[in-house]
Amino acid sequence: MEACAATPSPRTMAMDMDKLISHRLFSLLETKFLFGTGCLSSGPGTPASAFLDGGRVRVLAIDGCGAAAEDALLAASALARLEAKLREQTGDHDARVAEFFDVAAGAGAGGVLASMLFLRGPDGRPRYSAQEALAFVAGSVGKKDWTCRHGRWAKMFRRGARSGGGDRVFQRVFGDATLRDAVAPLLVPCYDLATAAPFVFSRADAVESDAYDFRLRDVCAATCAVGRDPVSMRSVDGLTAIAAASAGLAAMGNPAAAAITHVLHNKQEFPLAAGVEDILVLSIGAGASTSGSNTPMTTHSPSPRELARVTATGVADMVDESVAMAFGHACGSNYVRIQAGKAPTPLDANTAAAAAGAMLAQRNVESVLFRGRRLSERTNAEKVDAVAAELVKEQERRRRSPLLNVAIKQVGTPRLSSATTSSSGTATARTASSMPSPASWDSRR
């Protein structure tokens, strides 16, 4: 493992991230429930929202969806519906999801969706709409059905993703764009086999040092990697090397806790976020796959893909319950979780729209403070619509406020690598020209 001498090693960063998530978040839980404090904040005194009208920090977290394309169908469909509602309520027919969130975190296929939505276009706005991201998911299947192993989506997760076609897909979608080319803070986890620890790709770190700036196509390949062979990658300056495996192995299949921790401790970008009462989180889980739902149990050893899926699913549920408890009585208003059961069958490209609608019409099991878990009173679609209304209110609230509760880091120094340009804007303009139109995705297999 190589690292820049002037910056912490990936192992140190991973250990620090583990400490922040496991110690800080849950010690606050202990303080709240054992000692009866009135709110869950990151410091003493009155929460920032009590005397400052800067609004809540808006967080989007997308679970690590599996290798089957239907696993990402719920997330992509929910985001497309959210974007349609935002356009309807604001009157802006070109509004993008990323313009209403301050932070995005995604693992696995969720990392691909988050990276697409937050990629800066040549005009400085998010390049891809949520509808285009949905089209990307729907077009990434085999010719016959969604469980086909020859589809473009499956290639992204297959062992040896670079030789299996996944890298070519990411190249067409992201070009040479890097983490610095995200319009807002972006977090994408993976598991680094070289250090035997989780590693989180972060735009905030990339802005500070080229040693932690990675090309988005490599970031997506890293968080999606499942199999025996890791995805070997380096930062844009070549100083940081990672042997990446699936984010599910990093116990970050649900990145919501990592995103919340990032907001609470990143005072440079989020100076007024004192506690979870100052954060609005939309967490989107994966729809359960049908590929194994009717298959009899076997005694063979699980494949790496199956193992990663089971691990990610179990961790996602535990993180959801812990975060819901952290938000306490604000859960449901400040923390909204969308999760679907298994997708309807048969599921193929022709029935994708109907399947997406069916999953959005489902009600998921959610965690309730002191009451365990229960079936939600609202459908996933109703939750999406409610979040859209809250996001629009937060947007208006922020426009009226004289205080900035979000100050995104800007790229202030030229890159050290000759492979990139001195500014994020010109780099994006250069790389975006090599990206295909979303309408051409279906024809590029």
What is residue 225's three-state secondary structure?
coil
Tokens of 17: 């991230």
CB atoms within 10 A of CB 417: 15
What is the predicted pLDDT for the residue at 58? 97
> By CB neighbour count within 10 A (0-12 exposed, 13-18 middle, 19+ buried), where does 393 fall?
middle
Residue type, 30: E
pLDDT of res. 365 = 80
Distance CA 115, CA 68 (A): 19
Per-residue confidence (pLDDT) for residue 164, from 0 to 100 = 41
State the pLDDT at residue 423. 32
Where in 292-344 does DSSP place strands (E)?
335-338
Q: Which residue has the tokens 């190249």?
A: 171
DSSP notation for 166-177: HHHHHHHHHTT-
Euclidean distance between CA atoms 361 and 339, whole angstroms: 11
282, containing H or E segment: strand 279-284
**Cα distance between residue 185 and residue 103, in whole Å:** 5
Number of H helices, E strands in the chain: 16, 10
Q: Rounded distance, CA 239 to CA 336, Å?
A: 39
- Mapped to the 3 state alphabet, what secondary structure does 95-149 carry? CCHHHHCCEEEEEEHHHHHHHHHHEECCCCCECCCHHHHHHHHHCCCCCCCCCCC
403: left (phi over 0), alpha (psi -120 to 50) or beta: beta
Digitized pLDDT (tens) for each residue of the chain, 445 residues in all = 444 444 455 555 545 555 544 555 555 544 544 444 444 444 444 444 444 566 899 999 998 865 556 668 889 999 999 999 999 999 999 999 999 999 999 998 899 999 999 999 999 999 999 999 998 887 765 444 444 455 556 666 554 444 444 577 888 899 999 999 999 999 999 888 888 888 999 999 999 999 999 999 999 988 887 655 678 899 999 999 998 876 555 567 789 999 999 999 999 999 989 888 899 999 998 755 443 344 444 456 666 556 656 666 777 788 888 888 888 888 888 999 998 776 666 556 667 778 788 889 988 887 776 667 778 889 999 999 999 999 999 999 988 887 788 888 887 654 443 333 323 333 333 344 345 555 555 544 4
- pLDDT at 374 (0 to 100): 79
pLDDT for the residue numbered 394:
93
In the prediction, which pLDDT does 84 show? 97
Query: In the structure encoding, which two tokens stand for residue 41, read together?
Result: 């904040």
